[in-house]
Structure formats: structure tokens, C-alpha cells
A and B are shown apart, each in its own frame.
Chain A
Amino acid sequence: GESVGLHLPTLSVQEGDNSIINCAYSNSASDYFIWYKQESGKGPQFIIDIRSNMDKRQGQRVTVLLNKTVKHLSLQIAATQPGDSAVYFCAEMVGGGSYIPTFGRGTSLIVHP
């Protein structure tokens, strides 16, 4: 069946480095791709989304890249900080009124001071 998955379950970086979290998706009909951040003991928090008609979108210290040719999504975090340590989930969604996302398993980002 269709699925969303992540390449790396754990990513360790040094404070100040740039982080790149990758995600593969398989549903070519997905209209939206979303990144969420989940800190320990909390619910996921929306970071950024990108529509399927775009290949790049920037937010505050984050950039999401979408490559529809290879069905790949990435989240880049600039100047990673200890507060960025969390589990990051990608999700895909087919629009058209029923906005039900399919989540990937998650990548744990560990930022070392």
C-alpha cells in the first residue's frame, strides 16, 4: 500500500550545524506535505508545509524541499540549536476536502551543545 517513511531514524548534530531530515513518500496523488516536531511528552507541533506544485518553501530557520521525481521530501534546519532536539515527522495528505494525513515513523534529532 501507499506509505510515508523516513531514511534515518536518528540524527545527531552539533549545535550550530545545519540539519537535514529526509522523508520518502509513495502516493503520487498527495497534494500537501507537512513537517511536525514532537518534543518528549508533548503533542506534535506544525512546522511547515508545502504544496505539490512547489519544490521549495522557506520558514524561520527551516526549508522544505520537495522532489516529486523521486518522491522525496526533506527538512533543513539552519544553525541547529539544542531546543531543536525532538522527533520530526513528515506527513502527506491528499486534499479535496478530506484532510487526513498519513504520517511517517519519525526521525529523532539530537543536538549536542
Chain B
Amino acid sequence: GAGVSQSPSNKVTEKGKDVELRCDPISGHTALYWYRQSLGQGLEFLIYFQGNSAPDKSGLPSDRFSAERTGGSVSTLTIQRTQQEDSAVYLCASSPPGVEQYFGPGTRLTVT
């Protein structure tokens, strides 16, 4: 079946511009996660959605970052006034109830 998809696969933006990254999770998965991965580093947790509960935003690095999940499915991560340090791969994962997460291919964001 279809896996987690993310768009765009690559995004180049100028410093100060806003960007939106999209995640389409696996149908029926109740949990959705966003992570950030810098070059050669592990995954940094950003935000977690579980069903209709309020999202866990504890990993968002600043108020320039926000995310929403519409209808319990598609999610959008928005970064306002992008900075060069925001350059990274942004990964989305979805999960049925439990431990295993299914990751998308990521969006590589480059801020020039």
C-alpha cells in the first residue's frame, strides 16, 4: 500500500521567507510526527499529533515553527521568516497505536 509521502522533496528559499512543508500519512494512522535531521545528525523531535488530542509541541525550536493536521490526516509544517540554521531535512512519520513509526522520504530545506 501507499506509504508516507512528503512534498516538496526539495525546497530552496531565501532567508526571511515563509515555507510550508506537507505530509500525507498512511491512511488510518492516528499518530503523526515531525522531525528535523541536520547533516550527519540524529532526528530531532518537533511535534506530535495523536488523534483529536492537543498536539505535543514541546520540540518546536521557536515560535517561527508551527504545524497543523487537518481532519486527522494531512499535516503541514510552517516555518516563518526562515533562517539559515533552519536548513535541514524535515521528516514526517505516521504510526498506528504503538511503537513502530513509518517515515516519509523527507523534505530537504535549504535557506540561502
- Size bracket, chain A contacts: 20 to 34
Contact B4 A99 (CB under 8 A): no
Which residues from A are CB-within-8-Å of B42? 89, 103-106
| Complex contact B98–A43 (CB within 8 A) | no
Pick out which of these stretches binds chain A: B71-79, B80-88, B102-110.
B102-110
Docked pose: A98 CA to B98 CA in angstroms = 10
Q: Is the CB of B104 within 8 A of A49?
A: no
A46–B56 touching, CB < 8 Å: no
* Neighbouring B residues of A46 by C-beta, 8 Å: 100-102
Q: Are A42 and B43 in contact, CB atoms less than 8 angstroms apart?
A: no
Query: Which residues of B sit under 8 angstroms from A103, Cβ to Cβ?
Result: 35, 42-45
Q: Which residues of B contact A42 (CB under 8 A)?
A: 105-106
Cα of A103 to Cα of B101 in the assembled complex, Å: 13
Q: Are A43 and B45 in contact (CB under 8 A)?
A: no
A41 contacts the other chain (CB 8 A): yes
**A-contacting residues, B23-52, CB 8 Å:** 31, 33, 35, 40-45, 48, 50
Interface pairs (14), CB distance under 8 Å = A42-B106, A43-B4, A43-B93, A43-B103, A44-B101, A89-B43, A97-B50, A99-B31, A99-B98, A100-B33, A100-B48, A103-B35, A103-B44, A104-B42
Chain B residues with CB under 8 Å of chain A are 4, 31, 33, 35, 40-45, 48, 50, 56, 59, 91, 93, 95, 98-106
